[in-house]
Amino acid sequence: MTTQYKTIVKDGLWDNNGVLAMLLGMCPAMAMTTSATNGLGMGLATAAVMAASSLLVSTFRSRITQEVRIPVYILIVAAMVTLVDLCMNAWMHELYKVLGLFIPLIVSNCLPLARLEAFAAKEPVLPSLMDGMFMGLGFTVALTIIGAVREITGAGTLFADASLLLGPAFKFMEMQLMSPDKGVLMMILPPGGFLVTGLLVVVKRMIDVRAGKAIQMGGAHSAA
């Protein structure tokens, strides 16, 4: 792996993480993380859409003129989302029943759009695909962690219904850590989303400071 790809992977997963560093995509990060499984599913669907749309934008980057780029990006993201929505409804129906309502929300997520504008519009196809994929996976990791914290504190379970998402083989992931009556209801409600996301941003920055890194301020800047 060349240094460029290493930077892309590290950027997506940690340094420039969509949720924890850039604070983008807050809408699904709050709405969909009532459980770790929901966060994981939403994250994976977003990653698929991001990889596909980064690939397309990068392929057509010389044809898309500056003036119409934003509508074209939105068109591409929306088309990919609709594609995922239709295919999931038809062929992964159980999963669709869990996530269905939230798939259209990916269009309103500004993380894909930010990556198209900041990266895929300028870079070759392969790095763009990698960027879309790893930004998406970083998003998935962040959503899963937020979901896990909220689920454990709010409902006392971890990865409930994971077998619906990943198949019966993953039944072992479903854990009951404490009685549901002991859960703090607020953590599952919207305020819990804000609290946990905020605390995780703090934790990430503390780790970065410990490691002696300069803190990157939020924003859609690309390190590439």
Partner 1 sequence: MKQQRMLIHGVILGVFCLGFALILAVTDRFTVKDIAARALEDRLNSLSQVIPDSIHNNNLVADAIAMKDGQGNEITVYRATREGKVTGLAYEIFGSGYAGKMKLMLGVDAEGKVLGVRVLAHKETPGLGDKIETKKGDWILRFNDLSLGNPPVEKWKVKKDGGQFDQFAGATITPRGVVRAIREGLEFFAANKAQMMDLAAPKAPMKEAH
Site of interaction with partner 1 (CB under 8 A): 34, 60, 63-65, 67-68, 71-72, 75-76, 79, 82-83, 86-87, 89-91, 93, 97, 154-155, 180, 183, 185, 188-189
Q: In the complex, what is the shortest distance from the CB of residue 70 to partner 1, in angstroms, rounded to a whole number?
A: 10
Residue closer to partner 1, measured from CB, 18 or 183: 183
- Minimal distance, residue 189 CB to partner 1, in Å: 7
The smaller minimum CB distance to partner 1, of residues 47 and 188, is found at: 188
Distances (CA, A) of 125 to 38, 53, 57, 131, 132: 30, 11, 9, 10, 11
| Residue 86 vs 223, nearer CB to partner 1 | 86
Q: Where are the alpha helices (DSSP H) in the chain?
A: 3-10, 26-31, 36-59, 69-91, 93-99, 110-115, 125-155, 162-166, 185-188, 190-210
The SS3 of residue 221 is coil
Per the listing, tokens 């619906």 go with 164
| Residues 6 or more apart in contact with residue 83 via CB below 8 angstroms | 52
Please say which residue, 79 or 173, places its beta carbon nearer to partner 1.
79
Cβ of residue 77: shortest distance to partner 1, in angstroms? 10
The separation between CA 23 and the C-alpha centre of its own chain, rounded to angstroms, equals 11
Q: How far apart are CA 192 and CA 188, in angstroms?
A: 6
| CB 146 to partner 1: min, Å | 16
* Backbone φ/ψ region at 159: left (φ over 0), alpha (ψ -120 to 50), beta: left
Shortest distance (Å) from residue 61 CB to partner 1: 12
Q: What is the DSSP letter of 83?
A: H
Smallest gap, in angstroms, from Cβ of residue 101 to partner 1?
10
Q: Which is nearer to partner 1, 145 or 188 (by Cβ)?
A: 188
Report the residue number, 83 or 202, with the smaller CB distance to partner 1: 83
